[in-house]
Structure 1
Amino acid sequence: MRRSGPSSLRKLSTLHRDTDGAVLLWVSILILVVFALIGLAIDGARFLNLNSNLQEVADAAAIAGAKELDGSNDAITRATNAALNYLQNNPRWSDVAKSGVQIDHAKFYDTAANLSDDVDTTDPRKAVYIRVWTVQREASVTFSVVSNVTSIATNAVAVAKSSFSVCAQLQSFVCNPWESEETTNQGSAASWKNHVNIGDMLALVGGSNGAPGNWGLIQAPAYNSNPHNQAYFWSLSAPGSCPTVDLSQVGQDTDTGNNAPFAVPGMNVRFDNPQKSNKIDSTAAPIVIDGFKNTTPASANNCANSVDVRPGGAGFKQANEDNGVYYQANCNESKPRTSCPLPRDRTLTNLGGNAWSTSLKGNGVDIADLKAYWLNQHGSSTIPEFASGVATTTRWQVYQMESNPGKYPGAAFTNSAEDATPQCKDSLPAGDIKRRVINVAIVDCDYWDIKGSATLPVTTLMASFFMTEPADANGKIYGELINTYQVNGGGSSIYQIVQLVK
């Protein structure tokens, strides 16, 4: 039997210093690390993609919900439905429990402070902010063996805000007489449009206490308990800016009581009655036919004296006073061509209000009376078409034609009793055609709790009226409806602004 020699012992003693095959060991360990890192990178990217997509859904759902926050009684219901139903499908970026709705729930807030403190509101008249939460979505882990995790999950949260920009000169409001007809959309004054058509006349009588049909004034800016501020406020035809306000701030404050007489000088600046020299409120409307001729020279800038040139003078009867009989008999070419004012609607019915404040509504001008006016002013019983194939049927159309005799030669004035342009104006140019247009907020006063001194909402309808004649000493206005505008509607000057907050 052979015995181990010294060389064998030497080989055994050097085995621990042998490095052959060590690379394979390190490579095996490194492969596991690299695969783990790749897995983490891939799964991390999937997590970020999942979270990013959920955040986009949350943002879009919050914006969709905020668009419904208009203060009406079903605003929160509509906003919730819009947000929760924004996306219902099977998104590819979630492969675990992916079906169904993507928004879990929503909450509403009236102020930024309550949003921060998570004090929500259920009052649709005050909801300004909406916060939405997505459902929790998962994505399977690519290298679950390495990480010992089978899926990753996340959700997202978003907040959006609804506010409104008011770019119209609003000096008054009408309590919607047909508010009681509204059920699912209370506060929107939508029923107004079912009853008042373009061309209908309203006689607005001041002094609102919130009763349906009442007409009331809005406080003048920088109001200091001086109702005479209403004169300058009413002389303006455009606001100085377009402020953005929330529902929680709402709109302008009402100016209750019988204050309309204090606004009369400003109201009638829209006719031939300037107030001050070299002031914006001195600018009169371009066409002034109201039955009165000014006798003070225009250079005096006040035209305080006038003479009644209507047929019959003080005995003149408007169309609503005897169903147009007097108007028809006296506003015609066989009589001396004087100055018949635009006719009123023949019938004006009570809109509601109270014993001392009753606004009236008509059903549009009688075409025979409108033709009599045209005959009196322009010497023809045929009124030109307002546009090709469009008959002239409203007083506003007539006024536009008279303001543009270059386009409508038949509208040129030959009447010497009252000129077509303002006689009483200072050095400023005559006001533009919209000088006799007033914008009136139509408000569901019961819903918004407008009783006495209150704050108006900004999300209501806006109606534009053409003043057909100067206001009387009590501030009573006769106006023909030009159009009614909804928020964001064509021609509207009230716009909703929806934006993400976070």
Structure 2
Amino acid sequence: MKRRGPFANRRLARFCHEEAGSILVLWIASLVAILGMTALVFDIGRVQIAHGDLQRFADDVALAAAAELDGRSDSITRATNAASKLISNPQAYGGDGTLSGATDYTLTFLDGLPAADTTDPSGYTTTDPIDATLVQVVTTPVTLDPMFLRATRTLAGVTGPAQATVFAESIAGFSMEACDITPLMFCKPTGWSATQASSIGDGILLRSGGQGAAWGPGDFGFLDVSSSAIGSSCFGLNGAKLIGCLIGAEDNVTGCYAQRGVTIEPGQKVGLENAVFNTRFDQFRGVMSQFKSNANYTVAPNIISGLVPQGNACGWNNVSASTNSIGLPHDNCFATGGCTRFGTGSWDYANYVDSNYGNRNGILEAGEDSHLVSHIPAAFAGTRYGVYLAEIAYAQTAGLPSGAILSDRDETGIAQCSSNVSTNPARRVVIAAAIDCTKHPINGAATNVPVDEFVELFMTEPVGTGVGSPPSFDLWVEVIGSAGVAGLGAAGTGGVFRDVIQLYR
């Protein structure tokens, strides 16, 4: 039997009483914790990457679908197709490597959102393509297997599945905004649209709507300008004076109006006179007489109206009819009683040309309109606006004194009062919001009223003196076309039109 020596016994005793090695126990325990934390960070990182992929996919799908929600009858169908066909994103974890197609998400269409972000929006669900303005996207949940967490749970003796389920949600919406337009609106008949070819050239009698009685097709009012971004020409004004400036001045600047809902003010307003419309016809009277020399209030390059001032070039307080010229005629149906506010586009071109350029015998004879025909744009053939443009083009080469359009007539067709003349033919064009007042009843001031479209209207004649208090005016216009409808961003030629597609949640 081998016996231990005294030296070995001393080492064993010293080892048993040694405390310096106790740090090894703490080190081993810390190493286990560090490895566990490292594993946890790795697993959480995988979860975060997976969620990031799903969130990007949800956002992209929501934006693609929302871009089609323009209020048309097929908007939901187009939105569903866009979501399934336009978006394909990579997926790092939890799937087949690609996020694409309807199996990877669920679409829900909404007509509004609750005020609080934490509130469930299911109460705003809609299947109506006209009302659907937002889309909610919820991705199909993805299950991840956190390998290190599973190993840690096994070492710790914890039973049960170790899985992480990840999904993402996004809500996007569509709206159209019209900026820098005339703050004007009018009621349109149900089903009428300036996008229809048959509407181009139609004459309309717009009459300012008052407070109280229900408005119908042809009544007009103003868009609220209290929150507008005002340009230098109208800065510091408010109320009727501000509206007058925004209507009367050229290149005015207004805020943006959302197609989904505008605020309306009555067309009959105290302090607002017809003169604010007529600066473009060289008529500076009443409240607008002070702007005769103001370069912001320009005159259109063609102002043939069949009216002449009395006394001097600016004597528009007492106007008289020209004895040998006429303004652009109304649609024939207004005279026969075949229409009330919206015409058919059929007007007496022959009488207009013969009265202003012919021998005034009531017959359009050969050659009397030869100087105009070649200048009428094909897009506006048969319209008063086309003739107006042709007269401007003709005057540039006719060689008449001072660039006149008419000769041997009581009026020349160009400004006589103001020296500030616009070079832009669109000076007599206004862009107005068209609203279905049958579907959305109006009887004066109103808020959050949807706009069907923004329409370009040509002012065919000066606005006549109003009657009543506040005064009611008649505004005769011709439809040029649609300046902007939902889904046709940047379609305007006068103002700025844009589609606004954004994420809300």
Q: TM-score, structure 1 length as denominator?
A: 0.69
User: Is 119-128 or 488-497 further displaced after alignment?
Assistant: 119-128
Letter of the 2:220 counterpart:
G
How far apart are the structure 2 equivalents of 1:441 and 1:390? 22
Q: Which residue of 1 aligns with 2:234?
A: none
* 1:323 match: none
Report the counterpart of residue 395 of structure 1 in structure 2.
Answer: 384
Q: 1:395 touches 1:468 (CA, 8 Å); kept in 2? A: yes
Larger deviation, residues 467-476 vs 110-119: 110-119
Q: Distance in 2 between matches of 1:111 and 1:390?
A: 43
Deviation at 1:362, TM superposition (A): 2.1
Following TM superposition, by how much is the alpha carbon of 1:49 offset from its aligned partner in structure 2, in angstroms?
A: 1.6
Aligned position for 1:423:
416
Say if 1:65 and 1:78, in contact at 8 Å, map to a contact too.
no
Correspondent of 2:342 among 351, 360, 377: 360
For each residue in 1:137-180, what CA deviation from the matched residue of structure 2 results, as whole angstroms up to 9, or x when unmatched? 1233345752456543212233445555331434443333234x
Match of 1:197 in 2: 199
Aligned: 1:287 with 2:302:
yes
CA 1:51–1:222: 2 relative to 1, 3 Å: closer
Counterpart AA for 2:139: T
C-alpha change, 1:285 and 1:448, in structure 2 (3 Å) is: same
Kindly tell me: are residues 115 and 418 of structure 1, through their superposed partners in 2, closer, same or farther at Cα, counting changes over 3 Å?
Answer: same
- Give how far 1:53 is off: 0.8
Give how far 1:90 is off. 9.5
**Change over 3 Å in CA distance of 1:46–1:246 after alignment to 2:** farther
Over 3 Å counting, the alpha-carbon distance change for 1:168 and 1:225 in structure 2 is: closer
SS in 1 for 2:446: coil
Say yes or no: does 1:216 pair with 2:220.
Answer: yes
TM-fit CA distance, 1:429: 4.6
For 1:390 and 1:135, locate their aligned partners in 2 and report how far apart those are by CA, in whole Å.
51
When residues 292 and 376 of structure 1 are mapped into structure 2, their CA distance, relative to the original with a 3 A threshold, is farther
Counterpart check, 1:476 vs 2:474:
yes
Write the distance in 1 (CA, Å) between the matches of 2:104 and 2:300: 57
Kindly report the root-mean-square deviation, in angstroms, between the aligned alpha carbons of the 2 structures. Answer: 4.9
Please name the residue that 2:317 is paired with: 304
1:142-291 alignment to 2 at 5 Å?
142-143=147-148, 146-148=151-153, 150-160=162-172, 162-179=174-191, 191=193, 193-194=195-196, 196-207=198-209, 209-210=213-214, 212-218=216-222, 221=225, 234-243=247-256, 245=258, 247=260, 250-255=261-266, 263-274=273-284, 275-278=288-291, 279=294, 282-291=297-306
> 1:101 maps to what in 2?
103
Contact 1:62-1:130 within 8 A present in 2 as well: yes
Q: C-alpha displacement at 1:480, in angstroms?
A: 1.8
The alignment partner of 1:483 has SS state of: strand
CA drift at 1:17:
6.2
Alpha-carbon distance change, 397 to 80 in structure 1, aligned in 2, over 3 angstroms: closer
**1:141 equivalenced with 2:142 (yes/no):** no
| Residue correspondence of structure 1 range 3-42 to structure 2 within 5 A | 3-6=1-4, 10=8, 40=40, 42=42
Give the whole-Å Cα distance in 2 for the aligned partners of 1:388 and 1:343.
Answer: 19
Q: CA deviation at 1:35?
A: 7.6
1:446 to 438, 446, 450: 438
What secondary structure does 2:124 align onto? coil
Kept after mapping to 2: 8 A contact 1:436/1:467: yes
* Secondary structure of the corresponding residue to residue 277 of structure 1: helix
Give the residue type in structure 1 aligned to 2:491. G
**Identical positions, percent:** 20
CA spacing shift, 1:246–1:167, aligned 2, 3 Å: closer
How many Å apart are 1:210 and its aligned residue? 4.8
Unaligned residue ranges in structure 1 (runs of 5+): 19-24, 180-188, 311-337, 353-357
Q: Distance in 1 between matches of 2:259 and 2:422?
A: 37
Runs of at least 5 residues in structure 2 that lack an aligned partner in the other structure: 17-24, 154-160, 228-236, 361-366, 467-472
Question: In structure 2, what is the Cα distance between the partners aligned to 1:430 and 1:193?
Answer: 28
CA separation of 1:226 and 1:154: change in aligned 2, threshold 3 A: closer
Distance 2:449 2:322 in 1: 43
- Alpha carbons of 1:271 and 1:66: their partners in 2 closer, same or farther (altered >3 Å)? same
Asked if structure 2 preserves the Cα contact closer than 8 Å seen for 1:235 and 1:266, the reply is: yes
- Mapped to 2, the partners of 1:262 and 1:363 lie a distance apart of 30
Partner of 1:345: 331
Preserved contact between residue 385 and residue 391 of structure 1 (Cα < 8 Å)? no
C-alpha spacing 1:271/1:432, structure 2 compared with 1 (3 Å): same
Tell me the secondary structure at the aligned position of residue 464 of structure 1. Answer: strand
In structure 2, the CA distance between the partners of 1:389 and 1:38, relative to structure 1 (3 Å rule), is same
Query: Which 10-residue stretch deviates more, 341-350 or 374-383?
Result: 374-383
Give me the whole-angstrom Cα distance separating, in 2, the residues matched to 1:415 and 1:85.
65
Shift of 1:359: 0.8
CA contact (8 A) 1:260 1:476 kept: no
Residues 63-111 of structure 1, C-alpha deviations (whole Å, 9 max, x = no match): 3454455567987x56984797578879643435988533346475746
Counterpart contact for 1:268–1:471, Cα < 8 Å: yes
Cα distance change of structure 1 residues 206 and 480 upon mapping to structure 2, 3 Å threshold: same
Find the aligned partners of 2:444 and 2:312 in 1 and give their Cα distance.
43
Mapped to 2, the partners of 1:115 and 1:83 lie a distance apart of 26
- Mapped partners of 2:359, 2:453: distance in 1: 35
Cα offset, 1:400, TM superposition:
2.4
* Secondary structure class of the residue paired with 2:301: coil
1:498 aligns with 2:501: yes
One of 343, 368, 381 as aligned partner of 2:369: 381
Q: Distance in 2 between matches of 1:471 and 1:377?
A: 29
SS in 1 for 2:220: strand
Q: CA deviation at 1:30?
A: 11
Q: In 2 relative to 1, CA 58–351 (structure 1 residues): closer, same or farther, beyond 3 Å?
A: farther
State yes or no: 1:435 paired with 2:439: no
The 8 Å contact of residues 107 and 138 in structure 2, kept in 1 or not, is answered as: yes
User: 1:251 and 1:477 mapped to 2: Cα distance?
Assistant: 22
CA distance in 1, matches of 2:195, 2:318: 41
State the alpha-carbon separation in 1 of the partners of residues 209 and 356 from structure 2.
35
- Kept in 1: contact 2:200–2:480 (CA 8 A): yes
Alignment-mate amino acid for residue 343 of structure 2 = K
